[in-house]
Structure 1
């Protein structure tokens, strides 16, 4: 009796295995002939999470559409996704195993971005005309349903205009306290300013600057040093002085050349402040000059009228203002354009040894001709 039951059970197992085999073959065949649809990636949504000095968490929601009337447990499935900014790899992540219900399913992942990738990305952004293409690619591979692979690539453009507003033809007087008896304020006029980016590297970002300076005095001045300090969200990212001195004859103009340097090794720290400030950065460049007077005395003059301030705002993944605070809850757009709106704050504050300038009667410009920039 026991033997008969064992044989009967074994026969039932064989029948069941045969049925499973037939069903699996039918399923694969149905897929092959289009009777059953293959799942597809509908969207990849990324958002920034916690940020520390070393890493930035990226939260990812992967939306998969299953057109079939039943759900599938895809244990043999792997997911890989990458985030690149101007081809610089910023984050890579993924996982194994998916539980796909009928219709849309959302799988959540997190990965950590190395903040050490910020300097090479920044260099690519500057060298690309202050433009970044954010590319998000998600690929799902599964051994179920006939070794299928499906993927989605999204692109988003991010633009900034960090130093564009530095280019100005506005005349700005420079006043100093304790002027010698042979001089009077303003001791100088800045008639024109220009700036452009040099070739950025992973270690530094140069900014070429020009200042057209007019000496309204009878005696010549010697500018022995032009110094600068660059801060981003109050973090010092660069400071230095020019190597050249300039003699400006009385009643004449000279164009001063200077090169400011952003130290890119500071940019991973800046990145933390940028994200914690809701992707907003306050850039400030401050200047001073050392002027040798005809008496032989040298004075340090803060050039507060040249202080340059700019607000830099980005929306890397395009969902910063969506519900959830950009943490991966917004509906993604496969391609789009970021609309960061740089804002210039042209009104500087006077301080130090600078007096409040007295506007030239009838006009704010220098009454003498100005030369073209060299």
Structure 2
């Protein structure tokens, strides 16, 4: 037992610090659970195709529908963090997401499943309502570290969706994966809503006026639009390879089961380990240097992914590299986006919508590329998206 356990906190600030730590932990866990909903379909494509009498490549578009739905949800709901009661908004979105996940589990065909997945992904934007709140509450010298803690939770959820989703889908069927996600989302979403502050920032205009203001916000802030373009390129490259990976692993030359292919997502735990380190580097050296380094690592991962079409060890290295690059870039760019304007929720909306739009487009391109040119076509899509993002990185402010 420590002396502080007997004598009480050493300073008046100790108890609030512990409370803030628990608050940050709950937000990180909630972000993990809700972010997983966007990627539930990706490791289950083979099972879904088998159930509906189709082929995995023919249903791969459902994974991109999820990302597109998330981008649309962000566009409409994330700016509301500047104007409405976050507690009420998180509660409502939790209920909508839960109902959509239940509908996904009961979908009679691919069309109904795609609609339900789109709605579930559009409503599960809770993490991006919480990140601006964390940035506002964090001390300036540790802001990137606090943002990184939530991002670590978010990427842990993404990894969990692939690993646990694949295992549970193989054992119980893909429908039970969506049903289980509904239960977790309801529990964590309502628990988080209950502890959120009720105060809201007073702003003029209608609730959805923030959407119309986004283009002007990007024009006035070169740092913001540069962060948006950088992350769209990085996230698109990651999405192209990661949403198509199950197609490679369950087909020739590997012929792995859905559960075994899902275990490959454990390499994504790299992101959870890198996020706190990236936050410290951003606080110390600035966002630009971290993003440049991340793009260099991502550039190395593309030829490794290409070699992974025949060599499993290359896929191992590529998975570690691309996750490290993605999360480092994300921590740096999102911290910059949250601090470059006086409307953090709107700026965060522009940033995350850009990233997920880039990811959705890359995923949509990766499916046909895999069908026509195999795994090499997917790697080419990733390279193109990195080239677009790097072009944005290379532009200097006048």
Q: TM-score, normalised by structure 2?
A: 0.24
Higher relative strand content: 1
Larger Rg: 1
Higher relative helix content: 2
Q: TM-score, normalised by structure 1?
A: 0.25
**Higher RCO by CA contacts (8 Å cutoff, separation 6 or greater):** 2
